[in-house]
Amino acid sequence: MTDAGPGHDSEGLWRALAPQTLARLLHTYGSSQFGVCEDAVQDALLEAYVRWPASPPDDPQAWLTAAARRRYIDRVRSDRRRRDREERVALLAAPLSHDGLQSDDTLLLLQLCCHPALSRSGQVALTLRAVAGLSTQQIANAYQVPEATIAQRITRAKRRLAELGGAFTRPAGVDERMAPVLDVLYVMFTEAHHTTSGAPAHDTDLAAESIRLVRLLRAGAPESTEVAGLLALMLLTEARHPARTGAGGRLVPLDEQDRRLWDRTAVEEGLALLDAVVPGAEPGPYLLQACIAGVHAHAPDTESTDWDEVHALYTVLEHATGGRNPMITLNRIVAASMVHGPEDALALLDDLADSHPRLARLDAVRAHLLERTGRTDEAAAAYRRAIAATVNVAEQHHLRDRLRALGPEL
């Protein structure tokens, strides 16, 4: 390895190595030591950040695992109340053979974090932190809740794992924890495409890792239509990436993208998955979203998109999720605007705003609908509110471009 140092895609390297390292420590010391193991991995990453630019290791994973084990033992020794446990733990620090681990440590860590004894909110928050490496602020932004709430969920989940104790082992069946695992992977991928942490419009490494993990799930649960649906959704969405940014990193919305730039290999794989699993399947939320992405993938442009089908699918999706996800409702309203016109959609948007006034993208959608009706003053005000509420810099630039297009006086 020669490019491990800071400034050369190091963030992607840390993201790939950290979950694997944490999984190996947990495999050795048990899930009751989750918090200490996670701290040890962070210490080792900091040491690597300092040392690797001058002396990159031949095997980064082995180096980081060994460093994390040393840091773990140092932390155990620093706590006098654990003195009786120290020698036993140190004896377990012998290098693990590849035969002693499952085929993918990150997937195993994902399943551990989704332990059924944890609440669903705790499962998702802990996994996004430990596996995806998202900050508490990013997770809070994804779920539209205060950062302190996410921090509390993570703390409670770690405490519960410590209370449970036990070895770090694979669940009895791959389906046992499928629902929260899929939820986590979906949020990982959503964060990759709508980053809430600053400038990048797209986190390529996080998107690739999400797809890789879903492929592993697909191999372990080939009969699951929801796993197939999530993989198809990710592929069809990721296929748009080459057309999603323009000159200077400017964001290009779906209706303005040159679809000839879409990754046809990813599109064809996604559509083939849908063709294989949709007939006779009971559609779940991820399969329904993949079907919506499939309608867009079949259309050469926005005008020829089957918006009646998109609207119908969003209506079914909203019903399937019990109307609990306001983003699904928002997307249904956007589809309704393409079928029935922007005025009807604005009335629906007012109803949604009454129940979810702080919903992300609500003002951006409102501004676009107002612009389509010719109400430019109101559209300008909505664009300004949307800009103020948007964290991602690329999305801010896009909204400012739309605002400026309304006229210099606005």
Is 268 strand, coil or helix? helix
Count CB-CB contacts under 10 A for residue 250: 13
The amino acid present at 129, given as its one-letter code, is R
Torsion over CA of 374, 377, 383 and 387, rounded to 10 degrees? 160
The CA–CA distances, whole Å, from 12 to 4, 19, 54 equal: 10, 12, 19
Q: How far apart, in whole angstroms, are the C-alpha atoms of residue 8 and residue 11?
A: 8
More confident residue, 80 or 64: 64
| Average pLDDT, integer, range 138-145 | 79
Cα angle 343-341-299, degrees, rounded to a multiple of 5: 150
Reported confidence tier of residue 79, pLDDT bands at 50, 70, 90: low
* pLDDT computed for residue 275 by the predictor: 95
Is 251 strand, coil or helix? strand
* pLDDT computed for residue 295 by the predictor: 97
Query: Is the whole-model pTM more than 0.85?
Result: no
| Average pLDDT, integer, range 267-273 | 96
Q: Helix %, strand %, coil % for the chain, to 5?
A: 70, 0, 30
* pLDDT computed for residue 260 by the predictor: 94
- Is 70 exceeded by the pLDDT of residue 72? yes
Q: How far apart, in whole angstroms, are the C-alpha atoms of residue 223 and residue 145?
A: 35
For residue range 182-234, list pLDDT tens digits in order: 988 898 888 787 665 555 566 777 888 889 889 988 888 889 999 999 999 99
For residue range 24-54, list pLDDT tens digits in order: 888 887 777 888 888 889 888 888 888 888 8
